[in-house]
Amino acid sequence: MVIADTGFAEASWLLVLKSLIIFAVILGIVPLILLLERKLLGRFQARYGPNRVGPVGLFQPLADVVKLLSKESYKPDAAVPVLWAIAPALVILSATAVLAIIPFGDVVDGKVGLYGIDVSIGILYAFAFGSISFYGLLLGGWASGSKYSFMGAMRSAAQLISYEISMGLALLGVIMMAGSLSLVDISNAQADTIWYIVPQFVGFLIFMVAGFAETNRPPFDLPEADAELVSGYNTEYGGMRFGSYFMAEYMEMVVVSGIAAAMFLGGWHLPFGIETSAVVGALVMLAKILILICVFIWVRATLPRLRYDQLMSLGWKVLLPLATLNVLVTAVLVVVT
Question: What gap in Å lies between CA 78 and CA 290, rounded to an integer?
Answer: 41
8 A C-beta contact, residue 273 and residue 192: yes
% the chain with pLDDT above 90: 34
More confident residue, 17 or 167: 167
The predicted structure's pLDDT at residue 230: 66
8 A C-beta contact, residue 90 and residue 143: no
- Give bridge partners of residue 318 from the DSSP assignment: none
Q: What is the mean pLDDT of residues 265-285?
A: 88
Question: What gap in Å lies between CA 309 and CA 303, rounded to an integer?
Answer: 17
Question: What gap in Å lies between CA 29 and CA 220, rounded to an integer?
Answer: 24
Give the contacts of 103 (CB within 8 A, at least 6 positions apart).
113, 114, 115, 118, 183, 184, 187, 262, 267, 268, 285
Secondary structure element (H or E) that encloses residue 112, with its range: strand 112-113
Integer angstrom CA distances of residue 141 from 156, 178, 249: 9, 40, 16
Task: Report the range out of 49-53, 148-152, 224-228 with the highest average pLDDT.
Answer: 49-53
The predicted structure's pLDDT at residue 175: 94
